[in-house]
């Protein structure tokens, strides 16, 4: 079976390729935007003598790249998404690119759609958590965001991307598996999710307090994706992906300060964040956007409202973390410490 991994050169992608190889997939086509990532994937494949990696270069915004990428593949693991930049870029990279990929799958000859499986890596951002009560447990039955326009554009674009996949699945009948990771972290990733707080100028505003962080160590997340891709029961299912032992935002920040570097942070309790968000929202409206509306009460509730998380459905597939949370955090902080030491 030939597998296509889109975004194979990314932070998560390299680990997904490795876990797919570990699960016995040998014939993998890696779609990369950046040719320089090829060597890293070849290095990963060296531990798997049967591995046959094939490389396809380009951007999924191009229909011709999509057509080339999907030829003869029975399993597509779709990781590509816009992570940062202007809203139009996020939608182009996450939604337009996905639509092109799905159109290419639909248009190709050979493997019927019913025999094609698509694994989409979505996001926790698609859940409509802003209106939930503090402490609500988030699982796969939590309603999706009803007002994506009030959220950050990343979450909005990811929701639209996922909706698109369900629409095409309804139309074409392929097997769709959706994974919704929380905050993916690890060596190669960033230091802080917004769930911990926001860096504004020289100060770090610690807004997450004692909320649980739905962290997913990149290796554990990749294992979940590979497992769901392979499992016969996963078709048509959604899985939340996060680790078992979750730190709080404050403990994560404390460990970061201890192991990586000292940063100046100010802790704002949730009620103060809500008041500040309300004031900024009002000022944003009254001043017609003189200061950007990055902090609103709705966004504050979504990011720092405080939820519990449930990954029992993922466990039912047979998943368990390959790396424990203390090990994962230690590896991540060591990477961040070394990265920080290299800065001028």
The residues with which 28 forms a beta bridge, in sequence order, are: 3, 53
Q: For another protein, which residue of 22, 63, 103, 160 counts as binding (CB under 8 A)? A: 160
- Distance from C-alpha of 17 to C-alpha of 32, rounded to nearest angstrom: 12
Minimum CB–partner distance for residue 170 and another protein (Å): 17
- Smaller CB distance to another protein: residue 62 or 320? 62
Question: Total residues at the site for another protein (CB under 8 A)?
Answer: 25
Judged by CB under 8 A, the stretch of 138-146, 148-156, 225-233, 267-275 that binds another protein is: 148-156
Closest CA to 264 of 204, 211, 321, 320: 204
- Distance from C-alpha of 288 to C-alpha of 341, rounded to nearest angstrom: 42
- Smaller CB distance to another protein: residue 49 or 344? 344
- Smaller CB distance to another protein: residue 232 or 287? 287
- Distance from C-alpha of 112 to C-alpha of 109, rounded to nearest angstrom: 8
Q: For another protein, which residue of 9, 10, 125, 148 counts as binding (CB under 8 A)? A: 148
- Smaller CB distance to another protein: residue 90 or 246? 90
Judged by CB under 8 A, the stretch of 111-119, 152-160, 247-255, 329-337 that binds another protein is: 152-160
- Smaller CB distance to another protein: residue 57 or 335? 57
- Distance from C-alpha of 253 to C-alpha of 273, rounded to nearest angstrom: 18
Phi and psi at residue 178, to the nearest 5° = -115, 130
Q: For another protein, which residue of 49, 264, 287, 342 counts as binding (CB under 8 A)? A: 287
Terminal Cα-to-Cα distance of the chain (whole angstroms): 47
- Smaller CB distance to another protein: residue 110 or 283? 283
Rounded (to 5) percent helix, strand, coil in the chain: 45, 20, 35
Minimum CB–partner distance for residue 157 and another protein (Å): 7
Phi and psi at residue 185, to the nearest 5° = -140, 165
Strands (E), the chain: 2-6, 27-32, 52-57, 75-78, 117-121, 137-138, 175-181, 183-185, 197-200, 203-206, 215-217, 238-241, 265-267, 308-309
The DSSP symbol for 96 reads I
Minimum CB–partner distance for residue 82 and another protein (Å): 10
Phi and psi at residue 49, to the nearest 5° = -55, -30
- Smaller CB distance to another protein: residue 95 or 227? 95
Phi and psi at residue 256, to the nearest 5° = -60, -45
Minimum CB–partner distance for residue 280 and another protein (Å): 14
Using only the alpha carbons of the chain, give its radius of gyration. Answer: 20
Minimum CB–partner distance for residue 88 and another protein (Å): 5
Judged by CB under 8 A, the stretch of 240-248, 283-291, 315-323, 330-338 that binds another protein is: 283-291
> Considering the rule CB under 8 A, would residue 216 count as an interface residue with another protein?
no
Phi and psi at residue 130, to the nearest 5° = -60, -30
- Smaller CB distance to another protein: residue 161 or 216? 161
Minimum CB–partner distance for residue 111 and another protein (Å): 26
Within residues 94-133, the interface with another protein by CB under 8 A covers 95-96, 99
The residues with which 204 forms a beta bridge, in sequence order, are: 199, 265
Binding mask 55-94 for another protein (x = CB under 8 A): ----x-xx----------------------xxxxx-xx--
Binding region for another protein (CB under 8 A): 33, 59, 61-62, 85-89, 91-92, 95-96, 99, 148-149, 153, 156-157, 160, 286-290
């Amino acid at each position: 079976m030939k597998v296509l991994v889109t975004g194979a050169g990314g932070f998560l992608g390299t680990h997904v390729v490795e876990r797919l190889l570990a699960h016995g997939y040998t014939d993998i086509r890696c779609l990369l935007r950046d040719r320089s990532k090829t060597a890293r994937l070849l290095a990963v494949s060296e531990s798997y003598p049967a591995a046959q990696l094939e490389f396809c270069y380009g951007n999924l915004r191009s229909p011709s790249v999509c057509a080339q990428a999907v030829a003869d593949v029975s399993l597509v693991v779709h990781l590509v998404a816009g992570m940062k930049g202007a809203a139009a870029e996020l939608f182009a990279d996450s939604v337009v690119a996905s639509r092109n990929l799905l159109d290419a799958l639909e248009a190709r000859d050979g493997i019927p759609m019913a025999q094609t499986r698509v694994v989409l890596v979505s996001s926790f951002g698609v859940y409509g958590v802003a209106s939930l009560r503090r402490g609500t447990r988030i699982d796969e039955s939590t309603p999706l965001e009803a007002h994506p326009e009030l959220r950050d554009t990343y979450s909005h674009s990811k929701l639209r991307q996922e909706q698109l996949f369900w629409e095409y699945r309804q139309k074409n009948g392929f097997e769709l598996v959706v994974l919704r990771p929380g905050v993916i972290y690890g060596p190669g990733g960033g230091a802080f999710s917004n769930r911990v707080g926001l860096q504004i100028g020289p100060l770090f505003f610690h807004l997450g307090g004692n909320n649980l962080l739905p962290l997913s160590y990149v290796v554990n997340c990749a294992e979940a994706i590979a497992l769901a891709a392979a499992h016969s029961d996963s078709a048509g299912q959604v899985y939340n992906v996060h680790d078992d032992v979750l730190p709080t935002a404050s403990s994560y920040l404390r460990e970061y300060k201890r192991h990586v570097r000292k940063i100046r942070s100010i802790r704002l309790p949730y009620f103060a964040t809500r008041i500040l968000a309300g004031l900024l929202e009002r000022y944003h409206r009254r001043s017609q956007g003189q200061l950007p509306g990055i902090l609103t009460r709705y966004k504050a509730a979504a990011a720092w409202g405080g939820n519990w998380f449930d990954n029992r459905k993922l466990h039912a597939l047979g998943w368990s973390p390959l790396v424990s949370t203390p090990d994962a955090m230690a590896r991540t902080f060591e990477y961040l410490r070394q990265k920080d030491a290299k800065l001028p």
